[in-house]
Amino acid sequence: MFAYFCLMGRLKIYSSDIPRKNILAEREALYLSKSAEQKIYALLQLNYIAVQLNGGKPLKEPQGKGILIRKISHS
């Protein structure tokens, strides 16, 4: 068996023989080693991918009431 994790835009496949705490420690170390700019850029990339996978439509949209957002109803 294998476990799949995506971090900072890369998919990494782990053997299920590796303890989960070791995987989490590795992922945390990688995340903490990134600068704030790199973290924000990765977040923007993830948002872009999510929009593309949703047919070019955002997952959420503004309600026109400040910064409140709601999920788009898929009717």
If you average pLDDT over residues 57-61, what whole number do you get? 81
- For 21, the token pair is 């705490």
Q: What is the pTM of this model?
A: 0.53
**More confident of the two residues 12 and 75:** 12
The C-alpha angle with vertex 4 and arms to 21 and 52, in degrees rounded to 5, equals: 130
What is the percentage of the chain residues whose pLDDT exceeds 70?
A: 69
Mean pLDDT computed over 32-60 = 87
| 3-state SS class at 42 | helix
Q: How much is the CA Rg of the chain, to the nearest whole Å?
A: 17
pLDDT of residue 22: 92
- pLDDT bin (cut points 50, 70, 90) of residue 16 is confident
Task: Report the distance separating Cα 55 and Cα 33, nearest Å.
Answer: 33
